[in-house]
């Protein structure tokens, strides 16, 4: 018994027993750069990646992490469509310019407009006619005291609109919104067709969180997990169509033939898609997956 005690029982410490002593530094905290790579093409301003677990990461957490500069990986323990919806929620959470904004037809009713606003949690909807031509905008202020639910949107919408083109940058858009005291700025092409929407709310979010992890279109980044099941390619395609930024092949042991086959097949069909492969625990596995096209590997066993 004494032998076991000597071998097993030993002195231990807790976090409260440890103190990191500060020392002299010439570096100011605001000048410290902790940027790192999530994949070859995705940079994180904050080196935090959430686990692809059904008790951890869905859209809500992925949005919160991306706003702080990291990235969330949506878990795969759900149907393909539900996972794609989770991805779309993140991509629509913030935009410098909302591409393909929710719109409503000119012959629609007040009731239909209210339903759309409730479904998408938005305060205004561009009104279009044939060929997506912009003819007006209706906001919650227009509908606030409207009791006739069958009235046509065309009767209450704002028709004299301030619009801009696709070349408008964030600063210019902010100036236009401020000058005309409006909250929504429709983006149109030379045929007056609706192609996007910039809102004052999204501009504010962008300026308030300069370190957010965003794509080239100003949308929050998000990754999603896939496996090696028979429907994996269908899942990958649905997620890519939802504008996922990266796919994570999520297996307990990725140094296997099946993982390599899935990796190569996705890269063959979607060569621009960033793919993380894992989990692995050896240098040989990392080299093999990188050689087969992985843009990052996930290290860790258990």
Q: What is this structure's pTM?
A: 0.74
- What are the residues whose beta carbons fall under 8 Å from the beta carbon of 50, sequence distance 6 or more? 56, 57, 61, 62, 65, 70, 71, 72, 73
Superfamily of domain 28-94+214-299: Aldolase class I (3.20.20.70)
User: What is the structure's pLDDT at 4?
Assistant: 59
274 and 42 in contact (C-beta within 8 Å)?
A: yes
Whose structure tokens read 């990266």? 246
Backbone angles phi, psi at 199, to 5 degrees: -115, 150
**Residue whose pair of structure tokens reads 């205004």 in the numeric block:** 124
Q: What is the rounded CA–CA span in Å between residue 39 and residue 297? A: 8
> Is 232 within 8 Å of 226 (Cβ atoms)?
yes
- How confident is the model at residue 82, as a pLDDT? 98
Predicted local confidence at residue 11, as pLDDT: 78
Q: How far is CA 267 from the centre of its chain?
A: 21
| Start-to-end C-alpha separation, the chain | 32
Parts of the chain with a pLDDT under 50: none
Q: What would you report as the CA-atom Rg of the chain, rounded to the nearest whole angstrom?
A: 25
Whole-angstrom Cα distance, residue 124 to residue 158? 11
Q: Is residue 96 a contact partner of residue 198, using CB atoms and an 8 Å limit?
A: yes
Closest Cα partner for 219 from 206, 238, 201?
206
CA–CA separation, 1 and 156 (whole Å)? 87
Q: Three-class SS of residue 185?
A: strand
Mean pLDDT across the chain: 93
What is the residue extent of each domain of the chain?
Answer: 28-94+214-299, 98-208
pLDDT attached to residue 231: 96
Q: What is the pLDDT of residue 139?
A: 92
Three-state DSSP state, 35: coil
Domain 98-208: what homologous superfamily?
CBS-domain (3.10.580.10)
Write out the two tokens for 29.
């905290």
Contact indicator for 162, 102 with CB cutoff of 8 Å: no
Token duo for residue 280: 């692995």
């Amino acid at each position: 018994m004494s032998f076991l005690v000597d071998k097993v029982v030993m002195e231990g410490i807790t976090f409260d027993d440890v103190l990191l002593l500060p020392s002299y530094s010439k570096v100011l905290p605001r000048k410290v750069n902790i940027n790192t790579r999530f994949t070859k093409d995705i940079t994180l301003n904050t080196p935090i990646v959430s686990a692809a677990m059904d008790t951890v990461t869905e859209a809500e957490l992925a949005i919160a992490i991306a706003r702080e500069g990291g990235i969330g990986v949506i878990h795969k323990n759900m149907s393909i469509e539900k996972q794609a919806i989770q991805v779309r929620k993140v991509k629509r959470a913030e935009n410098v310019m909302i591409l393909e904004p929710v719109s409503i037809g000119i012959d629609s009713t007040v009731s239909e407009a209210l339903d759309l606003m409730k479904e998408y949690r938005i305060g205004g909807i561009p009104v279009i006619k044939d060929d997506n031509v912009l003819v007006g905008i209706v906001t919650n202020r227009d509908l606030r005291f409207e009791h006739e639910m069958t009235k046509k949107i065309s009767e209450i919408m704002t028709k004299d609109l301030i619009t801009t083109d696709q070349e408008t940058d964030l600063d210019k858009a902010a100036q236009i919104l401020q000058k005309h005291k409006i909250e929504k700025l429709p983006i149109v092409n030379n045929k007056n067709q609706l192609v996007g929407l910039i809102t004052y709310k999204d501009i504010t979010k962008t300026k308030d969180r300069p370190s957010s992890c965003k794509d080239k279109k100003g949308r929050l980044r998000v990754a999603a997990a896939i496996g090696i099941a028979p429907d994996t390619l269908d899942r990958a395609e649905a997620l890519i169509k939802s504008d996922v930024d990266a796919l994570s092949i999520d297996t307990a042991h990725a140094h296997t033939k099946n993982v390599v086959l899935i990796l190569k097949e996705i890269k063959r069909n979607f060569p621009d898609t960033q793919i993380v492969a894992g989990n692995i625990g050896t240098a040989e596995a990392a080299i093999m997956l990188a050689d087969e096209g992985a843009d990052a590997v996930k290290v860790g066993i258990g």
